[in-house]
Amino acid sequence: MFGYISLTRLIYARMTERGSGVIVNVIGAAGEKFDPDYITGSAGNAALMAFTRALGRASHAHGIRIVGINPGPVETERLVMLSRARAEKSLGDASRWRELYARMPFERPALAAEIGAAVAFLASPRSAYTNATILTIDGGG
């Protein structure tokens, strides 16, 4: 949370000087779907959502847009490692980790490129009227 705030303080001042800019905060869906196994992360994500929306409500006066993305599970090296460990524990075979995706929407997590494409769109002039908004990308789950 404080890393986002500190970085925003640094770049917001420069964006204000030039009268334009976009900040896209990649947060996390736990801020919407409170996870009892991830209480601290859920609370932090919810706070970052509030920070993004609140700052965005005033940023347009400086020509700045503030938006956020809440990705659900994304197939990263970390997710694969955690899935392998979970498959070992629950299925008795780490190599069966992809079977754990069967319950996810579309039977898979998001791809990093899909999240990146959303960031690029939100930061682009094609999304010039999007502000103080959080986009959830979780496959509908």
> Which pLDDT tens digit goes with each residue over 95-112?
999 999 999 999 999 999
Mean pLDDT of 17-39: 94
- What is the rounded distance in angstroms from the CA atom of residue 124 to the CA atom of residue 130? 10
Residues 62-82: tens digit of each pLDDT: 999 999 999 999 999 999 999
137 band by pLDDT with thresholds 50, 70 and 90: very high
Structure tokens at 83: 């899935």
pLDDT of residue 35: 86
DSSP string for 83-130: HHHHHHHHHS-GGGGGGGGGGSGGGSPBPHHHHHHHHHHHHSGGGTT-
Q: Which amino acid is at 110?
A: A
Residue 14, pLDDT > 90, answer: yes
Q: Which domains does the chain have, with CATH numbers?
A: 2-74+110-137 (3.40.50.720)
In three-state secondary structure terms, 49 is helix
- What is the rounded distance in angstroms from the CA atom of residue 65 to the CA atom of residue 18? 13
